[in-house]
Chains A and B, each alone.
Chain A
Amino acid sequence: MTDTQTTASGPDAVLIASGVEGGVRDQVRAWWDRVRGGEMGALPASAGIVVLTVLFTFLSPFFLTERNFANLLTQAATLVMLAMALTFVLLLGEIDLSAGVTSGMTMALFVVLDNVFAVAWPIALLAAFGAGLATGLFIGFFVARVGIPSFVVTLGLFLGFQGLALTIIGDGGLYRLQVREILAIQNSNMPVWGGWLMLVVILGVVAATSVLDRRRRTRAGVPNRTVTLVWVKLAVVLVVGGAVVAVLSQNRSASPAAIVAGVPVVVPIVLTILWLGTFLLDRTRFGRYVYSVGGNAEAARRAGINVRMIRWSGFVLCSTLAVVSGLLSISKVGSVDAAAGREIVLSGVAAAVVGGVSLFGGRGRLLHAAVGALVIAIITNGLGLLNLPAGVNFMVTGSVLVLAATVDAVSRSRASGTVRRN
């Protein structure tokens, strides 16, 4: 988003550049300067995906198969969703340790309402979302109004909701999800043509937003980046997306009697939420204010921004999206127990940070969180295929997190260190 033009300098240079001047080479150089200046974004995590994929492909013959790929995506969906939810509070420089148990508790509510009280499932679902929303309002009240650190408030909820889930479900109890529509999210695939249609829609949206953005800039009288970059972007989406859809369009059934093919239904759902959330953060006042509060809350306040309301909204968004994450989880697992969501929250924070969302607030994107979640999911999936004990998974994930947090801290100090070079 931001551009550092390095060519113009010295007292007689053109007044101020836009940062979009020059050809592809200039833009690539400007991007590389930003990376070296500490704005690495999802670059380390993306590299991590490549390295891990190569590594696990060598270690397990099953890793790079169509079936495992589809399985990996559905496994990752819950974590991707939770990491995206957490990004809304991480961007504010806050944290929500209760996001996981919020998803667990609301799912317990959903399933119990459906199973035990025979409430129509859409109404039970509404109740679950209502509970998630109420949780966000509750946290927001104590953080934004009362002024308690979010770490403390949400740690309290983390414990409280486990107790609530135990009370609803009972120790060792487990409720099976019987709503076919919800089970379908993680257990059914679009027809093969649906996957290709999805790709066409994505290409269309990317092209349309690029064209509209360029038209707007032209109308305002400011320069545009070279149009080649739009083609490059479309080509990348086409190649990567095309490869994914192609692989998922192959028959991956374990038995010769049946055919299993197509992009899992969860994929377009997660992509849609990712797109909507990104739209909100990048293109609306609200999104801009989220970044400004995370960057410098006092500056935001002096600019007339209702900082309290922005914080509050962040927690509401996080808790509400945590409900979606819970839905993806029970759809995959098929049941809910008292411990649901207890462990995943730390993986969710880890995923966001690994992807490049700063723990210090103000930096990061939803896409970064999603990529980070894929890294964690690949580690879990790959180590699982190697039949390594669960302990190894925790240790590896923990190490990756510390590594990512170190990158975060170092790039942060770089971002303000490069600065005073002039």
Chain B
Amino acid sequence: MSDAPIIELQDVRKSFGPVSVLQGIDFRAYPGKVTALVGDNGAGKSTLIKGLAGVQPYDSGTVMFDGERVELQSPRDAARLGIEVVYQDLALCDNLDIVQNMFLGREEMSHGTLDEGVMEKDASDALRSLSVRTMTSVRQKVASLSGGQRQTVAIARAVLKKARVVILDEPTAALGVAQTAQVLSLVERLAHQGVAVIIISHNLQDVFEVADYVAPLYLGHLVAEVPIAETSYDDVVGYITGSKTYAGAETSA
């Protein structure tokens, strides 16, 4: 593997009571590359990224960022490192408008008060750079947006602050064909800008379209982390369902 990973997880574990969801995961993500995290329902994908987001810290294990050991105990820790997450259940406030949602938790201030002008400008620019055409006003309340539009706002929120790592949890699950294509091209654009993208998806077609690496999770274990070119659709299905084990080269080689 060419570059040094920006994120490297070593032996992370997480349990909910007696249920051991992550049982010693080693995982990496590389700048400028899309890494797809795949796995069946309940495999632990969301749990894995919630740890990276600082929302639900791991019980044990090491997180390396840029080759240095870091603590991810709160969303602020993650935000400080430039890790942004777009959640499956989009974390947006219906009662706030698009600009307010995009800047929630990191508002632009001037003279101790909210600088709505600057925020509106930056939000518009971010949406424009993603070629978003389907919204009428950046001051629209999020309550009045469609599913695809909400997804776009959530992604734009993540790219707004020039994040170094963007994690997308099932970004296309609720979208139609056209909007899925739009989101996938957005994912590619992010990677081109040097962002390390981690994408969770059920849709292997999507995965093979955008991912550089694929990392299948099975029952709390990471089966492998392989370059997409060196694996096949059938192999990945096998890893996900547990009917195949990874027999290739060591991923850490």
Q: A299 contacts which chain B residues (CB < 8 A)?
A: 91-93, 101, 104
Is A288 interfacial (CB 8 A cutoff)?
yes
Q: In the complex, are the beta carbons of B144 and A15 less than 8 A apart?
A: no
Q: How many residues of A contact B (CB 8 A)?
A: 51
Query: Contact flags (1/0) for B172-203 with A, using CB distance below 8 Å?
Result: 00000000000000000000000000000000
Q: In the complex, are the beta carbons of A295 and B139 less than 8 A apart?
A: no
Is B69 interfacial (CB 8 A cutoff)?
no
Chain B 79-101 residues near chain A, CB threshold 8 A: 79, 85, 87, 91-97, 100-101
Q: How far is the CB of B201 from chain A (nearest CB, A)?
A: 20
| In the bound complex, CA of A362 to CA of B147 (Å) | 21
Q: A296 contacts which chain B residues (CB < 8 A)?
A: 91-95
Is A71 interfacial (CB 8 A cutoff)?
no
- Which one of B53, B76, B112, B136 lies within 8 Å of A8 (CB-CB)? B136
Q: In the complex, are the beta carbons of B75 and A303 less than 8 A apart?
A: yes
Q: B96 contacts which chain A residues (CB < 8 A)?
A: 288, 291-292, 295
- Which range contains the number of B residues in contact with the other chain? 35 or more
Query: Contact flags (1/0) for A1-28 with B, using CB distance below 8 Å?
Result: 1111110110101011111100000000
Is B118 interfacial (CB 8 A cutoff)?
yes
The stretch of B57-65, B120-128, B210-218, B226-234 that contacts the partner chain: B120-128
Q: In the complex, are the beta carbons of B115 and A19 less than 8 A apart?
A: no
Is A220 interfacial (CB 8 A cutoff)?
yes
The stretch of A131-139, A372-380, A389-397, A411-419 that contacts the partner chain: A411-419
Is A180 interfacial (CB 8 A cutoff)?
no
Q: In the complex, are the beta carbons of A292 and B120 less than 8 A apart?
A: no
Is B143 interfacial (CB 8 A cutoff)?
yes
Q: A13 contacts which chain B residues (CB < 8 A)?
A: 133, 136
Q: A4 contacts which chain B residues (CB < 8 A)?
A: 136-137, 139-141, 144
Is B55 interfacial (CB 8 A cutoff)?
yes
Is A217 interfacial (CB 8 A cutoff)?
yes
Most chain A CB within 10 A, of B115, B117, B134, is at B117
Q: A418 contacts which chain B residues (CB < 8 A)?
A: 144
| In the bound complex, CA of A44 to CA of B217 (Å) | 55
Number of A-B contacts (CB under 8 A): 156
| In the bound complex, CA of A21 to CA of B74 (Å) | 40
Q: In the complex, are the beta carbons of A17 and B137 less than 8 A apart?
A: yes
Query: Contact flags (1/0) for B142-176 with A, using CB distance below 8 Å?
Result: 01111000000000000000000000000000000
Given the known A-B contacts A216-B117, A220-B121, A303-B104, are A291 and B93 also in contact in the complex, defined by CB atoms under 8 Å?
yes
- Which one of B87, B95, B118, B145 lies within 8 Å of A302 (CB-CB)? B87
Q: In the complex, are the beta carbons of B91 and A303 less than 8 A apart?
A: yes
Is B107 interfacial (CB 8 A cutoff)?
yes
Q: A420 contacts which chain B residues (CB < 8 A)?
A: 146
Is A267 interfacial (CB 8 A cutoff)?
no
| In the bound complex, CA of A422 to CA of B150 (Å) | 13
Q: In the complex, are the beta carbons of B137 and A288 less than 8 A apart?
A: no
| In the bound complex, CA of A4 to CA of B134 (Å) | 13
Q: In the complex, are the beta carbons of A3 and B137 less than 8 A apart?
A: yes
- Which one of B112, B120, B137, B146 lies within 8 Å of A422 (CB-CB)? B146
Is B138 interfacial (CB 8 A cutoff)?
yes
- Which one of B75, B106, B110 lies within 8 Å of A216 (CB-CB)? B110
Is B132 interfacial (CB 8 A cutoff)?
yes
Query: Contact flags (1/0) for A73-85 with B, using CB distance below 8 Å?
Result: 0000000000000
| In the bound complex, CA of A39 to CA of B143 (Å) | 11
Q: In the complex, are the beta carbons of A217 and B109 less than 8 A apart?
A: no
Is B209 interfacial (CB 8 A cutoff)?
no
* Contact surface of A with B, Cβ cutoff 8 Å: 1-6, 8-9, 11, 13, 15-20, 37, 39, 213, 216-222, 283-285, 288, 291-292, 294-296, 298-305, 362-363, 415-416, 418-420, 422
* Contact surface of B with A, Cβ cutoff 8 Å: 53, 55, 74-76, 79, 85, 87, 91-97, 100-101, 104-107, 109-110, 112-118, 120-121, 124, 127-128, 132-141, 143-146
Beyond the given A284-B113, A296-B91, could you list 13 further A-B residue pairs with CB under 8 A, ordered by the A residue number? A1-B97, A4-B136, A16-B138, A19-B136, A216-B116, A217-B120, A219-B117, A221-B121, A285-B109, A285-B114, A303-B104, A303-B106, A419-B145
Interchain residue pairs A-B with the least CB separation, the first 6:
A220-B117, A303-B105, A295-B93, A19-B137, A295-B95, A362-B95
